[in-house]
Structure 1
Amino acid sequence: MKALGWWLIVVGTLRLASVWFGFFDIWALRLAVFSKTTVTEVHGRTFGTWTLLTCTLCYICAFNLENKPLYLATMEISNLSTVGIFAGMK
């Protein structure tokens, strides 16, 4: 379980970098991720907020792996399907 904690810290840190782009560097987000669609400041802040939420959940779970409800919330398949739905929209 120790490796899972470290993995969640790495994933949370990478998500934290995406939060920066969503809130403070929207041009980089437009060019790198959403180049084929119109992205406004509101879209960037929404992306940043969602990513900050998932980043925080990763960090909390990494330090509390024995907490089963928190673990299930972090690893739930529906979280992946929600991201997939939004990522697939063009």
Structure 2
Amino acid sequence: MKALGWWLMLVGSLRLASVWFGFFDIWALRLAVFSSTSMTEVHGRTFGVWTLLTCTLCFVCAFNLENKPLYLVTFLSFIYAFGHFLTEYLFYHTMALSNLTTVGIFAGTSIIWMLLQWNAHQQSFKRQQQQQRQQQQQSYFLKQIFVQGNGKIGRVWRARWISH
């Protein structure tokens, strides 16, 4: 797994804690995120479901970095989350600066890293596809030698190909 994949796994794991707080410990969620406002249990559960979705995106994307639509949606989830928390701090005044800083570190790092790696995994995936096509072509070629050879040479070539 690539370093970005490990990072997304870490972020997804940390988001799981927020999911727990949203569903089962609204007081801790209020303290950790929305420290300047009151919250109801409905708000907590809504936050938990939304965070569970973004957590799922992180985990699935970590294992599928070459999937461009999934990569884009995961990237956008960081943009939306950071934008949401930024507006909560700037306009609604429901967050403390320290809480926004924590969110900003994780979201900002993820946004920048994913931007820097935007095409890197796609190119890696294309190389893998090319290698698979070459292997399929070589396999087909060697099968033809075996079928047409009907002799010792065809069997030797096929045996060498299979053993590698």
Question: One fold, TM greater than 0.5?
Answer: yes
Q: Percent identity?
A: 71
1:10-63 C-alpha deviation (Å, 9 max, x unpaired)? 000000011000001111112332232110001101111111010000001001
1:57 corresponds to 2:45: no
TM value normalised by structure 1: 0.86
Aligned CA-pair RMSD? 1.9
Distance 1:78 1:30 in 2: 22
Distance 1:57 1:83 in 2: 19
TM value normalised by structure 2: 0.50
Structure 1 regions of 5+ residues with no counterpart? none
Q: Which moved more, 1:69-78 or 1:22-31?
A: 69-78
**Amino acid across the alignment from 2:62:** A
Residue in structure 2 matched with residue 2 of structure 1 by the alignment: 2
Residue in structure 1 matched with residue 38 of structure 2 by the alignment: 38
Structure with bigger RCO (C-alpha 8 Å, 6+ apart): 1
Higher Cα Rg, which structure: 2
1:60-85 C-alpha deviation (Å, 9 max, x unpaired)? 10011110011011112642324433
Q: Count matched residues.
A: 90
Q: Which moved more, 1:16-25 or 1:76-85?
A: 76-85
Please give the secondary structure, in 1, of the residue aligned with 2:58: helix
Distance 1:56 1:12 in 2: 7
